[in-house]
Structure 1
């Protein structure tokens, strides 16, 4: 029997959330202990020789990944959430969606000046959410050491967008299309 790759654990659901979209569902990856372990190990690998002070997870699946990565690195975890979900004082960053805009927030005391931050999320599409996360980290004085994703959708241009910002971008697999 052939050894499974990370991509083998990801389920594709056609026409979700609307017609023409091929949704890449990572919950099947999370549910499998071998797949999940492989994922976390591979997310860490490119950054293993770097100093990382905290891991930032982008809402919502980035929380699952970011918490596991932070645990493996023995560092703190910081959630970046949708507007109105964090209880203490926050900084906000608006970003553009396909139709309209949204706002992400982080606690204003979550990251200290000079801390080195790894940003983690499940999927890189247009890069808008990740860009908002990067801007929030930088506004707090943090230094983003890299961005790690399970899936890259290269046709949507997110990797280029983040690399144009000077970011190191790692993705474990890519799927063509949307």
Structure 2
């Protein structure tokens, strides 16, 4: 990906100061999603390394990962798997606890959403500390999925999430980075 494309995508992302708490710069991708050209370019760039290869499923993390992951799955002719917060799925689930910046939560997916050995790409809008993505990778691996990569539009590298996933032998694809929190 070119620096020009990264700058173009970054320009389509709104930054909101002091949200959800003082000192945080929230990177709001809803403006990118609302810009048809930027949204298309982001999805095309996320898909590019796997175009023409065999990907069975794309797993999207609630909630913006559903939007992006659904588009990526469509482009790859792959199935889509929602990874949701505890208690949101109607069928039998498997669950994994994961670390938040200040505490812990649980995520789950349907027990039959991915078959053992299926190749899966994990997708979300942004990676920060990596706790949610790390939990999702563990959840997928626990049911036998082969996590081929994790893809994000935005990386906040100062928070270490991408490095955490790479340490788990998960290749990470991000389209742009923002310094700080």
- Corresponding residue number in structure 2 for 1:150: 153
Displacement of 1:100 in angstroms is 1.1
Displacement of 1:81 in angstroms is 0.2
Backbone CA RMSD of aligned residues: 1.3
- Corresponding residue number in structure 2 for 1:34: 37
Match of 1:161 among 159, 164, 168: 164
Conserved 8 A contact 2:50-2:76: no
- Corresponding residue number in structure 1 for 2:91: 88
Moved over 4 A (4+): none
Distance 2:139 2:98 in 1: 11
Match of 2:61 among 53, 58, 63: 58
Give 1:94-133 correspondences, 5 Å limit.
94-133=97-136
Distance 1:64 1:6 in 2: 17
Distance 2:82 2:50 in 1: 20
Conserved 8 A contact 1:46-1:170: no
Give 1:74-85 correspondences, 5 Å limit.
74-85=77-88
TM-score (norm 1): 0.96
1:25 has 2:28 as partner: yes
Displacement of 1:99 in angstroms is 1.2
- The superposition leaves residues 29-86 of structure 1 with CA deviations (integer Å, 9 ceiling, x where unpaired) of 0001101101100111122253210000001100000000111111110000000000
Unaligned runs of 5+ in 1: none
Displacement of 1:5 in angstroms is 1.2
Aligned residues: 177
Query: SS at the partner of 2:173?
Result: strand
Displacement of 1:157 in angstroms is 0.4
